[in-house]
Amino acid sequence: MRPGTVSIVGAGPGDPELITLKALKRIREADVILYDRLVGEELLDYAKEGAVRLYCGKSPGRHAMSQERINETLVAYARSGKAVVRLKGGDPLVFGRGGEEALALAEHRIPYEIVPGVTSAIAAAASAGIPLTHRGVSASLAVVTGSRCSEGSDAPVRWDMLARGVDTIAIYMGVGQLAHIREELLKHGKPGSTPVALVERAATPEQRVVTGTLARICRLAEEMRLANPALIVIGDVVLVRERLLGFGLGLFGEAVNG
Ligand code: SAH
């Protein structure tokens, strides 16, 4: 990495082996690493001796470091000639605010790059055995936030369009919003019998998967005591999983049908 530059890097989801070679190279070269809560901490072991490691952890509703402060810190370290890595869970540009950080860097004329990562929807699907698209079953995939922060903003979630226009819906940040998600989708015509999967801590040894229907999604989550981080997959592709189960070489979490 060149001094005075920032690399916005995707660490991939839970499993540290899912990081890219390029991302690992950036971690090894960095003078300063600003990392998030969902980044596997073992990845920091690859940093060189003396590298500064700064935790910016955000958990739902609590921010260790404000976004503004993170942006300022990136700019300040780059200006002082450091090679800076901004390490984020999954992919930096999928609900990762990597775009905002890139904009801040561009505004301050700091050279930056973006290194993509495996986003958690992709990882959750792979390790739960759910093909997000499948010939004859699903020809489209939407990546959606369940967080209600987008309500009242210029880009609210269009549940009306999603309910009818997309085959597979992958929802991030939805654990606390299941009742709302269910209500919106049912209201806009998604059948209550639509299959759903809840994938908690995907791609980690603690992964749990529960499947059922949209109508019963809240009850399922209660029964399993679903907690963050978790991914919600809605659509007929969840049924393909049932056909794959048993041949997954230990990749699958336990299935409980609701
Ligand atoms: N940039 C990240 C997403 C950050 S938003 C990415 O590309 O994956 C945080 C949300 O990601 C969580 O609320 C959860 O829905 C999802 N998530 C992150 N890690 C996860 C994991 N290991 N298993 C399931 N969902 C995960």
Shortest-distance atom of ligand 1 to CA 147: 13
Question: Which residues are paired to 144 by β-bridges?
Answer: 171
Of 36, 88, 190, 224, the catalytic one is 36
CATH superfamily of 5-115: Tetrapyrrole methylase, N-terminal domain (3.40.1010.10)
Q: What φ, ψ does residue 179 adopt, rounded to 5°?
A: -65, -40
Q: What does pTM read for this prediction?
A: 0.93
75, amino acid identity: V
Q: How far is CA 230 from the centre of its chain?
A: 9
Q: Looking at the chain, which residues constitute the CATH 3.30.950.10 domain(s)?
A: 120-257
Q: Which of 67, 172, 209 to mutate to test the pocket of ligand 1 (most atoms within 8 A of CB)?
A: 172
Question: Which residues are paired to 121 by β-bridges?
Answer: none
Q: What is the pLDDT of residues 217-255, one digit of tens each?
A: 999 999 999 999 999 999 999 999 888 776 655 455 554
Neighbour-count burial for 114-148, b at 16+ CB within 10 Å, e otherwise: bbbbbbbbbbbbbbbbbbbebeeebeebbbbbbbe
Shortest-distance atom of ligand 1 to CA 207: 23
Residue 91 Cβ contacting ligand 1 at under 6 Å: yes
Residue 173 Cβ contacting ligand 1 at under 6 Å: yes
**What distance in angstroms lies between residue 64's CA and the mean position of ligand 1's atoms?**
18
Of 25, 58, 65, 167, the catalytic one is 58
Q: What φ, ψ does residue 112 adopt, rounded to 5°?
A: -140, 165
Region of residue 27 (left: phi > 0; alpha: psi -120 to 50; beta: else): alpha
Nearest CA among 66, 51, 117 for reference residue 88: 117
CATH superfamily of 120-257: Tetrapyrrole methylase, C-terminal domain (3.30.950.10)
Confidence at residue 243, expressed as pLDDT on a 0 to 100 scale: 81
Q: How far is CA 14 from the centre of its chain?
A: 10
Residue 146 Cβ contacting ligand 1 at under 6 Å: no
Contact 209, 252 (CB under 8 A): yes
Confidence at residue 14, expressed as pLDDT on a 0 to 100 scale: 82
pLDDT for 203 beyond 60: yes
Q: Catalytic residue at 173?
A: yes
217, amino acid identity: I
Query: Mean per-residue pLDDT for 195-202?
Result: 96
Q: What is the pLDDT of residues 47-106, one digit of tens each?
A: 999 999 999 986 666 667 899 999 999 999 999 999 999 999 999 999 999 999 999 999
Spatial CB neighbours of 37, under 8 Å, sequence gap ≥ 6: 55, 57, 58, 59, 89
